[in-house]
């Protein structure tokens, strides 16, 4: 059995983490086993499931600059105690430089950097991340990306392989009975429901989404906005909603395990992100046959449904509102099983990552 060390921030329910779990659930675990090196000092949503499937979860120090000496000391000891890891696969974009550098120093032969984004959060580590982006190719031996734009962003003109952000599509197919049940559970009657799933962070641009929704209410007063997710911007966004006087029209649903069912309750999915790789939630929403309105910063590679439109972030709010209304009128939802053959369906693509690992091990033995 090959054990792969997957490097992540944590294993909460979010895009790349969900993508990893989709592959993990479908991979042949008699041949390949995933273990997870996280960088948060707590257990996460998926930890129990990982351990039930035979995986291990390790908790490294957080990647704060002041922690770097302690981090590299911890990593040195970790690889000394765990010589079984011949493949380290890191998913934390530019910050992957740090665990992959530690793996390189420890002599790990296969070090994979995986790009999941097309830009950087402008946080206190922004300049460091730019530096690590320049250095990432010096510590990885192999390069993966969720899409073409994400790969070019992190690796420049170096070659890379695209691994689809595949999901278990059948969990998301539209179901009228489930839709009615979920809307009743949420207390939704005849309202028009705009939905969004994503971390409450700068990247996802919720402030803009809330302004769009406020404009929509002028034309569609019987509307609701469902926001699924948690994050550092939650208090700021709640204050925005309160100041706009639309508290009764916006619901913060938090971190949910029933996201596949929540898509059923929605009428339109809106994602005005500042940047994205290939957003898993955008894939999920399309398999749920939801009309989708994405910003022009979301790569068009994500589109496989005819019900997707891209709008510039510089466009007026009323343009977004008109597109949302038009999509609502023009589209009737169905099971969307005609999209079964999409590369984003894990039942079609589960072999891609496992075959890749097996090829790498073959290279290492030659």
Backbone angles phi and psi of 89, in degrees to 5? -120, 110
Which domains does the chain possess?
2-166+345-365 (3.40.50.2000), 169-339 (3.40.50.2000)
| Cα–Cα dist 37/111, whole Å | 14
Spatial strand order of the sheet with 223-228 comes to 250-254, 223-228, 192-197, 268-271, 292-295, 308-311
For the entire predicted model, the pTM comes to: 0.89
Determine the pLDDT at residue 15.
84
Q: Of all helices (H) and strands (E), which one includes residue 271?
A: strand 268-271
| Cα–Cα dist 161/46, whole Å | 26
Tell me what the pLDDT averaged over the chain comes to.
Answer: 94
Q: Average of pLDDT values for 300-317?
A: 94
pLDDT digits (tens, 9 = 90+) for 110-140: 999 999 999 988 778 889 999 999 999 999 9
Are the beta carbons of 258 and 228 closer than 8 angstroms?
Answer: no
Q: What is the largest CA-CA distance in the chain?
A: 66
270 CB burial (10 A radius; 0-12, 13-18, 19+) = buried
Q: Average of pLDDT values for 180-209?
A: 96
């Amino acid at each position: 059995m090959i054990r792969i060390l997957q490097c992540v921030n944590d294993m909460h329910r979010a895009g790349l983490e969900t993508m990893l779990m989709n592959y993990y659930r479908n991979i042949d675990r008699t041949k390949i086993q995933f273990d997870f090196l996280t960088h948060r000092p707590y257990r996460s949503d998926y930890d129990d499931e990982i351990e039930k499937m035979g995986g291990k979860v390790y908790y490294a120090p957080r990647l704060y600059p002041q922690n770097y000496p302690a981090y590299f000391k911890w990593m040195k000891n970790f690889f000394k105690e765990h010589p079984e890891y011949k493949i380290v696969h890191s998913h934390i974009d530019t910050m992957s430089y740090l665990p992959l550098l530690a793996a390189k120093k420890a002599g790990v032969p296969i070090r994979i950097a995986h790009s999941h984004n097309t830009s950087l959060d402008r946080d206190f580590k922004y300049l460091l991340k730019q530096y690590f982006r320049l250095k990432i190719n010096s510590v990885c031996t192999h390069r993966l990306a969720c899409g073409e734009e994400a790969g070019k962003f992190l690796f420049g003109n170096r070659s890379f392989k695209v691994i689809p952000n595949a999901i278990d599509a059948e969990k998301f197919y539209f179901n009228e009975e489930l839709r009615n049940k979920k809307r009743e559970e949420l207390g939704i009657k005849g309202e028009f429901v705009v939905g969004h799933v994503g971390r409450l962070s700068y990247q996802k641009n919720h402030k803009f989404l809330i302004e769009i929704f406020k404009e929509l209410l002028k034309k569609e007063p019987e509307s609701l906005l469902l926001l699924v997710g948690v994050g550092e911007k939650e208090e700021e966004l709640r204050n925005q909603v309160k100041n706009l006087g639309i508290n009764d029209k916006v619901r913060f649903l938090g971190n949910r395990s029933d996201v596949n069912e929540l898509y059923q309750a929605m009428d339109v999915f809106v994602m005005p992100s500042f940047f994205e790789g290939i957003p898993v939630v955008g894939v999920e929403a399309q398999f749920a046959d939801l009309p989708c309105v994405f910003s022009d910063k979301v790569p068009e590679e994500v589109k496989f449904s005819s019900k997707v439109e891209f709008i510039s972030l510089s466009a007026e709010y009323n343009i977004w509102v008109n597109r949302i209304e038009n999509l609502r009128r023009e589209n009737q939802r169905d099971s969307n099983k005609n999209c079964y053959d999409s590369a984003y369906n894990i039942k079609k693509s589960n072999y891609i990552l496992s075959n890749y690992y097996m090829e790498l091990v073959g290279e290492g033995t030659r």
